[in-house]
Amino acid sequence: MLLISCPWCGPRDETEYHYGGQAHVPYPETTADLTDEQWAEYVFYRDNPKGPFAERWMHSTGCRRWFNVLRDTVTYEVLSSYRLDEPRPELPQAGGNNR
């Protein structure tokens, strides 16, 4: 079981949280001009890296707030957790979706 630190409530067991997939996926800006392929990209395509991954979690049985976690998908180590208005922390070894 993962031990994840909610930015507001502190470290809690994984079972208190709900997973929300990849973080930092912005809603497209010029929606009227998007092709079907670009919409598909926004709706269905997500990164799936082996290694550090920035993802969203929600503290569903606690404060019920969303936040971001940087986690290694191979070792399952939680590298960092941060609020939605904070930038993704720079990690020397970070790969994945840092774009």
What does the binding site for another protein look like in residue numbers (CB under 8 A)?
A: 1-2, 14-15, 18-19, 21, 36-37, 39-40, 43-46, 48-50, 53, 55, 71, 73-76
91 binds, among another protein, Zn ion, none (CB under 5 to 8 A by kind): none
Smallest distance, Å, CB 61 to another protein? 13
CB atoms within 10 A of CB 71: 22
Handedness of CA 48, 49, 54, 57 (dihedral sign): positive
Residue 23's contacts (CB-CB under 8 Å, 6 or more residues apart) are 54, 55, 56, 68, 69, 88, 97
Smallest distance, Å, CB 70 to another protein? 13
Instruction: Identify the three-state secondary structure at position 36.
Output: helix
CA distance 84 to 57: 10
Identity of the residue, 17 or 53, whose beta carbon is nearer to Zn ion in the bound complex: 17
Q: Does the footprint of Zn ion cover residue 59 (CB under 5 A)? A: yes
- In the complex, the residues that contact Zn ion under the rule CB under 5 A are 6, 8-9, 59, 62-63
